[in-house]
Amino acid sequence: MNLAGQSVAVLGAGRSGRAAARLALHLGGTVTVYDTAGEKAFEGMPEGVTRHPGATVETGKACRADLVVISPGITTDGEFASAFATGAGEFIGEIELAARVYTGTVVGITGTNGKTTTTELVERIMKAAGRTCEACGNYGRPFANAVLGEDVPETVAVELSSFQLETIRDFRPDVAVWLNFSPDHMDRYTSVEDYRAAKLRIFENQRPEDVAVVRLGEDLPGIKGQCRTFSATEEGGDYSLRGSTIMLEGAAVLELGATMLRGLHNAENAMAALATARALGISAEVVAEAVADYAPPLHRCELVRTLDGVEYINDSKATNLHAMESALRSLDRPAVLIAGGKDKGLDYGGVLPLLKRHVSAVVLIGEIRESLAALFAEEVEVHKAETLADAVGAAQGLAVRGGTVLFSPGTSSFDMFSGYEARGDVFRAAVNALK
């Protein structure tokens, strides 16, 4: 790809925008980065890039560029992005820009939950098989950074959010992984259908020789690649779960008890990674060796501490209902749930049967706590707390020996924290301070 003589406008000065600017500059483009924030947002911007802080809709209307590259944090059909699109020769995202340069094998991974764990597993398996691989995209480095330099990996495991998939055009993964789907980001999308349509774009450019790894039972129209299915809860897929053993067409291929992967959600993440490995010619033996000592990411069903016979589980990465439901289904001890956070417009009615089955009490935090309290009180004992530390203290008083305190918010954290990581760190610190 050659951008010599072309003007490139990059929207957003964050990590994705900086990576896109660096790649566009490398390809010969004349690059300007626009952001609504001030000069400080442009720290770390590559030399040779023109900076435009304080950008507005009027700035966008006046901009004429051969190529506009938008960062995933900016709403694609919002007024700001639409203003720049008016004068754009082409309007794409950073994933698409990087894909036009990269010539290796692409594993694209999407889903409402489990993307990071599966992406890490794929990277780890590829390396164990002697292949260079980098996890990138929504996790790790931006894809545009991974394709630059002398050591470009043979394979990339690209974690893909719906925001990133909105702006692809020709991006085509050799293996496309669909982990699961549930409503999320309803503060960005006008409907669940719009959110789902963005996710489904992962399959749209695949060809018959490509592979689609999908969860059994998902309604996924128009898949053109060879389909491989998995499920930890249903029979009939290529990969299934028998006790703690992952089965492939009736034969045992991975014993989860020999790994640090726990819960049905992690069983399915491992199945997706196994199916990806098989599609790329890697044996189950290599996979087993690669995942034997793999530790899942922090903040996803992370055991923080056992105190007075009570396990304290940090599931701060549960930023939507599906993640909360997965954590609840995996419980085998009486539990107190700590939940709540930002109001994302989600319908929590479907979680009530799981609360009734697995939870003795709930402690609620965040801007959504009042509405959740009114709903959850139909099935369980409900308490409210002003801070997460207060919630941990209340949960300790409610938990019974042999039980679990599960912090699985079921929504995002931005009403109280900078992100789920900061939220999980506060939970961990509060648990470790208990006496």
Kindly report the number of other CB atoms within 10 A of residue 196's CB atom: 17
CA dist., res. 185 & res. 273, Å (int)? 26
Is there a domain that residue 2 lies in?
Answer: no
Residue 319 neighbours by CB under 8 Å, 6+ apart:
184, 341, 409, 410, 411, 412, 413, 420
Range of the domain at 225: 102-291
Coil, helix or strand for 105? strand
Q: pLDDT digit of tens for each residue in the chain (435 aa)?
A: 899 999 999 999 999 999 999 999 999 999 999 999 999 999 989 999 999 999 999 999 999 999 999 999 899 999 999 999 999 999 999 999 999 999 999 999 999 888 999 999 999 999 999 999 999 999 989 999 999 988 999 999 999 999 999 999 999 999 999 999 876 666 677 888 999 999 999 999 999 999 999 999 998 988 999 999 999 999 999 999 999 999 998 899 999 988 888 778 889 999 999 999 999 999 999 999 999 989 887 788 888 999 999 999 999 999 988 889 988 988 878 999 999 999 988 889 989 999 999 999 999 999 999 999 999 999 999 999 999 999 999 999 999 999 999 999 999 998 999 999 999 999 999 999 999
Could you tell me how far CA 18 lies from the centroid of its own chain? Answer: 21
Q: Please tell me the total count of domains within the chain.
A: 3
* The pLDDT value given to residue 185: 66
Q: Are residues 229 and 186 in the same domain?
A: yes
CATH number, domain containing residue 361: 3.90.190.20
Give the active site residues.
115, 138, 185
Nearest to 156 by CA among 106, 118, 115, 120: 106
CA dist., res. 133 & res. 286, Å (int)? 15
Q: Are residues 211 and 350 in the same domain?
A: no
Contact 133, 122 (CB under 8 A): yes
Q: Are residues 68 and 108 in the same domain?
A: no
Q: Are residues 167 and 263 in the same domain?
A: yes
CA dist., res. 374 & res. 366, Å (int)? 14
Is there a domain that residue 307 lies in?
Answer: yes
Q: Is 249 exposed, middle or buried (0-12, 13-18, 19+ CB in 10 A)?
A: exposed
Q: Which one of 268, 291, 314 terminates a domain?
A: 291
Is there a domain that residue 296 lies in?
Answer: no
Provide the Cα torsion 192, 415, 135, 213; round to 10°: -20
Place of tokens 């990806």: 276
Q: How far is CA 52 from CA 46, 47, 59, 71, 335, in A?
A: 14, 14, 9, 15, 51
Is there a domain that residue 1 lies in?
Answer: no
The pLDDT tens digits of the residues spanning 2-27 come to: 999 999 999 999 999 999 999 999 99
Would you say how long the chain is, in residues?
Answer: 435
CATH number, domain containing residue 52: 3.40.50.720
The pLDDT tens digits of the residues spanning 61-103 come to: 999 999 999 999 899 999 999 999 999 999 999 999 999 999 9
130-163 CB burial, b ≥16 within 10 A, e <16: ebebbbbbbbbbbbbbbbbeeeebebbbbbbbbb
CATH number, domain containing residue 226: 3.40.1190.10
Q: Are residues 57 and 160 in the same domain?
A: no
Q: Are residues 88 and 130 in the same domain?
A: no
Q: Are residues 404 and 282 in the same domain?
A: no
Q: Are residues 32 and 69 in the same domain?
A: yes
Q: Which one of 64, 94, 124 terminates a domain?
A: 94
The answer to whether the Cα torsion of 322, 328, 329, 330 is positive or negative is positive
Q: Are residues 29 and 172 in the same domain?
A: no
Q: Are residues 39 and 79 in the same domain?
A: yes
